[in-house]
Amino acid sequence: MQPSPASGFSHRDALTQKFIRTVGETILTDRRYHKIETGIEYRFAEQAREVHRWLYHALGPTTDLLRYFPDSLYFDLQRCLPDWESETKRPRAFPDEPEKIGHFTFFVEYKYSRTRRSQPLSAHPEVPLEYIGIMEREAWLTYRRLTTPNPPLGLYLDGKFPRIALFYAAEYAPEKLFAAWENCIEPLQVVKKVARPLSRTMHTKGSGTPWINFDLRRLKPLERFLHEDLFWDEREALRAVAQCKKRLFG
């Protein structure tokens, strides 16, 4: 979600912002979640423009940690799941005490895609065009670095890793809204061209940055993700996602 002079990318960014607002109004509401904005434009406030300029003059794994840091951190106000507990256990509901401790937390990164690929993937022609997703390559690599498990040290955080959820909107896909934990996404294709500072690597209508393609069917429809991974009641998840789709797509 980085700014770019490319008109196509700017329009997609506006749609992504609409996606974020709509999810906030219908699904990840302040009634159920406390949200902390963690994207670069929020963390640096009036210095954001200068920070962007410096980062775009120096690409690399170090600066990408800031460029592609997830959009928001969410605290579940209804569920408790401390990091040292087994993730296989159903998280406890909070008792009715004034101060809640041990919120279930996760980052969310939002992506919006309007146009499906015009041709099948050469290495995976079996994947239908309406189920091919796209993401900036450096963004995906950054999320993989951020979700690398801790080394085994005999501590309670052994093997743990941050939770980063991808909320993906694809206008062309039958289900339209998908989600998955970032560390579960495996690319079908990775563009290998080298990205350079202040240079459009790819001659496309978008941002010009290299990308990965992935199979949207490896993600979950958003209502399933809410139920199976964020511990929602199934019927409530179906209603919330239906409302989100209605507002987002009409």
Q: Is a pLDDT exceeding 50 seen at residue 5?
A: no
- With cut-offs at 50, 70 and 90, classify the pLDDT of residue 198: low
At 72, the amino acid letter reads S
C-alpha distances out from residue 22 to 6, 16, 109, 245, Å: 24, 10, 14, 9
Assign 143 to helix, strand or coil. helix
Distance separating alpha carbons of residues 11 and 210, to the nearest angstrom: 19
- With cut-offs at 50, 70 and 90, classify the pLDDT of residue 34: very high
pTM score over 0.75: yes
Q: CB neighbours of 137 closer than 8 A, spacing ≥ 6?
A: 190, 191, 195, 209, 210, 211, 212
- Helix ranges (H only) for the chain are 7-26, 40-43, 48-56, 61-67, 137-146, 222-229, 234-249
What is the span of the domain harbouring residue 127?
7-249
In tens, the pLDDT along 105-138 reads: 999 999 999 999 999 999 999 999 999 999 999 9
Helices 222-229 and 234-249: angle between axes, nearest 10 degrees? 150
Query: Which region among 7-16, 68-77, 156-165 has the lowest average model confidence (pLDDT)?
Result: 7-16
pLDDT of residue 83: 66
pLDDT of residue 135: 95
Domain assignment of residue 1, yes or no: no
Q: Is a pLDDT exceeding 80 seen at residue 208?
A: no
